[in-house]
Amino acid sequence: MTEATPAALDGRAHVDTVMRATETVSAYFIGAIRREIAILRAERTTGLSKHDWQRARGPHLTRMLATGRFPALTKAVYEGTDVDAEASFATGLDWVLDAVAAKLARPPA
């Protein structure tokens, strides 16, 4: 953390709330970065791109979903939109920042 982070929120909320907000946004960034690193490591280790890996694992996933034991996963696979890492990160960050802003707008308990 640098001076700029708590200074940007100074006076808008109690210092403990500012610290939790900072930790929350930081945790989101770290998680997103770790996910991208894991994907890059997997690609390097297997030699398969995301698309190649999906194509190779497709038959197994299709058989698994056909059992009917995974309705939520089936819905996600067949109805979900595949977005790139940048769009996924931006959407998630918007959600995190909206939640932090809502918390900062509430009167102290």
> What's 83's domain CATH number?
1.10.357.10
In tens digits, what is the pLDDT along the chain, a chain of 109 residues?
Answer: 677 777 777 677 788 888 888 899 999 999 999 999 999 999 999 999 988 988 999 999 999 999 999 999 999 999 999 899 999 999 999 999 999 989 888 776 6
**Number of domains forming the structure of the chain:** 1
**Strands (DSSP E) along the chain, which ranges?**
none
- Widest CA span of the chain, in angstroms? 56
The structure's pTM equals 0.77
Residue 105, pLDDT score: 82
Residue 108, pLDDT score: 66
Residue 50, pLDDT score: 86
* Residue type, position 61, single letter: L
How buried is residue 96: exposed, middle or buried, by Cβ count under 10 Å (0-12/13-18/19+)? middle
Residue range(s) defining the domain that contains residue 41: 13-105
Residue 28 domain-assigned? yes
> CA-to-CA distance for 57 and 68, rounded, in angstroms?
18
